[in-house]
Amino acid sequence: MQIQPIVAALRRHRLATLLIAMEIALACAVLCNAFFLVAQRMEMIHTNSGIDERSLAVLSVNGFEPSQAADVNARMLAGLQAIPGVQSATLINQVPFGPQRAAAGVTHDPGGYKKLIGVVDFVLGGPGTFKALGLKLVEGRLPQADDYQPAVSFVPNDAQVLVTRALAEHAWPGESPLGKDFWCDKFHFRVIGVVDHFARAQPHQYDMAQAEWTVFTPTAPGGSLSGTYLLRARPQDVQRVLRDAKAAVAKIAPDVVLDQEDSKTLGDLRTDYFETDRIMIGLLLGVVVLMLGVTALGIVGLTSFWVGQRRRTIGVRRALGATRGDILRYFQTENLLIVTIGITLGMLLAYLLNAVLMKFYELPHLPLYYLPIGALALWGLGQLAVLGPALRASHVPPVVATRSV
């Protein structure tokens, strides 16, 4: 197959060629970036919370005075534990994908803002909460009975805490975090252990790298640690247990108000939390499909037009001995050339678009391997779109050459 005559023919249709190439280029740029965004969202949806989501539910009540907290906690814990199927009922202040209750900037030095580590989530947990969550300890020790200190304001004044591996690697890179100290203003924390994974309440609101900057703070019940309860049951029982627990609140503590919105299974919390991401993925994929469809239609339309215009030329070529395959391959090669020009432009455009997106959204660089994937997709699309008109061209009979008009 000779390329030269094709190039010569394209030169005569510079404008149309350029248009299709531009369309391909734009499609390439949008395609690569849309797929990249989809991949990012997918990664978010699969955020590892580090806990046994399938076995857990959370129940939240409010409307009681701080002075009643101890009494409400005692009644609620006893009442919830009595529900059939509940393996454990413990106190917690926040869970992954639920409302954020305690987050603050922490530093390497007491009191100041000079050696900032970052903003971390404090998960306060009573006795038994660590085990109920199913967190995986990778280093250090579990909290013991005397580690559970009362939280006078939002966290205990002096706490022995467990941090996630992600936070440990950020705060003390290359060092063992065990025994290390950090502060939040006057509040002091000492690391006694490291957990594998533990997502913060609203991981989405932070960089991906900060999604697990969580500090598990053993806390004695009362004060800030009241009103939110973690229920653990067998996965198949969780829904029922939560339903029973919600119904039981009116009997256990008639004086408090059940927070319907925040009382859910962890599975439901996760689903709700990522709902908008799922919609966005659907939307992005929908636009990609529509866009590829429109691009394909454009190619079909223009190639059909060219085929119509060149009917006589095709007839002459056929009369001079070109086979049907030759004609077919001519249009296929022509399309390959145009799409290749488009893709070359499109790759530049994709990086430009990525740079713009990076400016406005917290997005990393577009990985290079997206480009060949986008290119392959568009080559495929181009060949598919051109097939119909090209086949029609190959069926032009040689006799056309002998007719005028």
Q: Could you list the residues that contact other proteins (CB under 8 A)?
A: 15-16, 19-20, 22-23, 26-27, 29-30, 34, 37, 62-63, 65-66, 111-113, 152-153, 185-186, 250, 255, 257, 259, 272, 275-276, 279-280, 283-284, 287, 290-291, 294-295, 297-298, 301-302, 305-306, 308-309, 353, 357, 360-361, 405
CB of 144 or CB of 309, closer to other proteins: 309
Q: Are strands 214-220 and 103-107 parallel, antiparallel or unpaired?
A: unpaired
CB of 298 to other proteins, least distance (A): 4
| Three state DSSP letters for the chain | CCCHHHHHHHHHCHHHHHHHHHHHHHHHHHHHHHHHHHHHHHHHHCCCCCCCHHHEEEEEEECCCHHHHHHHHHHHHHHHHCCCCEEEEEEECCCCCCCCCCEEEEECCCCCCCCEEEEEEEEEECCCHHHHHCCCEEEECCCCHHHCEECCCCCCCEEEEEEEHHHHHHHCCCCCCCCCEEEECCEEEEEEEEECCCCCCCHHHCCHHHCCCEEEEEEECECCECCEEEEEECCCCHHHHHHHHHHHHHHHCCCCEECCCCCEEHHHHHHHHCHHHHHHHHHHHHHHHHHHHHHHHHHHHHHHHHHHHCHHHHHHHHHCCCCHHHHHHHHHHHHHHHHHHHHHHHHHHHHHHHHHHHHHCCCCCCCCCHHHHHHHHHHHHHHHHHHHHHHHHHCCCHHHHHCCC
CB of 103 or CB of 191, closer to other proteins: 103
CB of 306 or CB of 379, closer to other proteins: 306
CB of 100 to other proteins, least distance (A): 11
CB of 393 to other proteins, least distance (A): 15
CB of 235 or CB of 293, closer to other proteins: 293
CB of 209 to other proteins, least distance (A): 18
CB of 4 or CB of 153, closer to other proteins: 153
CB of 142 or CB of 294, closer to other proteins: 294
CB of 229 to other proteins, least distance (A): 17
CB of 297 to other proteins, least distance (A): 5
130's torsion region: left (phi>0), alpha (psi -120 to 50) or beta?
Answer: alpha
CB of 373 to other proteins, least distance (A): 19
CB of 65 or CB of 146, closer to other proteins: 65
CB of 1 or CB of 290, closer to other proteins: 290
CB of 291 or CB of 387, closer to other proteins: 291
Q: What are phi and psi of 110, to 5 degrees?
A: -70, 140
CA 122/CA 213 separation, integer angstroms? 9
CB of 157 to other proteins, least distance (A): 9
CB of 267 to other proteins, least distance (A): 16
